[in-house]
Amino acid sequence: MYRYSTTPIRQPFGNDMYLLVRVPRPEPCDVHSPHSKTIDRWIDSAKYHVHDPTQDEGVPYRSLDYLLWEDHVECTLKVVKKEEKVEGPFKDPDAFALTLCVRIPPSAGFLAFYQHSPMVTIDTYTGMSTDRQAPHWIGTVGNELKFWQQRCLMIELLLHFLDAFPQCSRVPHKVQAWCQGVSVLAVGDLTSIRSRKVAVACSP
């Protein structure tokens, strides 16, 4: 299917005949970057886990459900928009950044120092939010979005972002130290500070 007809037409104010250039219709294509698509899929699957998994007080202590719930962390996503000060048709496009911060609940037994992770930028986009190539997280996250994920998964994600995008954090060494600090076991008897120090000292 073509946008223009191929029927010869007469040139205005002349006797020459010519064909209109045949321009095929553009095929639909996916213009989103692979990284942004992965982020969008992760948000779409995780955004429904908004309830605190430790709120059920009827679950027996040390039961399997309790241990699984205690291993969850709260993720906070924020979209930071940097608008250009120059107004008018020739202004530069807006810049968007998606930031991630992880919070470990106090009931998990970690030191207060590890309760919040350093903020990490996990994706960026420059352009209009209505562009076809704009990632979906600009509209999905809005100003802020919170949900719960497994602690081990978030540690892997933070380390992946640091490895793939070293510029995603102003303090990469702090992110690495935080991930290392919350990687130890913190359930049962190891929820106490003393027991965790012993566990870390005895670990190979």
Q: Of 17-21, 139-143, 147-151, which range is least confident?
A: 17-21
CA distances in angstroms from 43 to 84, 120, 154, listed in the order given: 28, 16, 13
Residue 129: inside a domain: yes
- 141/40 Cα distance (integer angstroms): 10
Q: Which domain holds residue 110?
A: 38-52+67-84+102-183
The pLDDT mean for the chain works out to: 73
Q: What share of the chain is helix, strand, coil (3-state, %, to 5)?
A: 35, 20, 45
Residue 167: inside a domain: yes
Query: Which residues partner with 17 through β-bridges?
Result: 10
Q: How many domains does the chain have?
A: 1
Residue 16: inside a domain: no
pLDDT at 55: 55
- Average of pLDDT values for 19-24? 52
Residue 119: inside a domain: yes
Residue 153: inside a domain: yes
Residue 22: inside a domain: no
pTM: 0.67
Residue 9: inside a domain: no
pLDDT at 9: 54
Residue 112: inside a domain: yes
Encode 67-77: b = buried (16+ Cβ within 10 Å), e = exposed.
Answer: eebbbbbbbbb
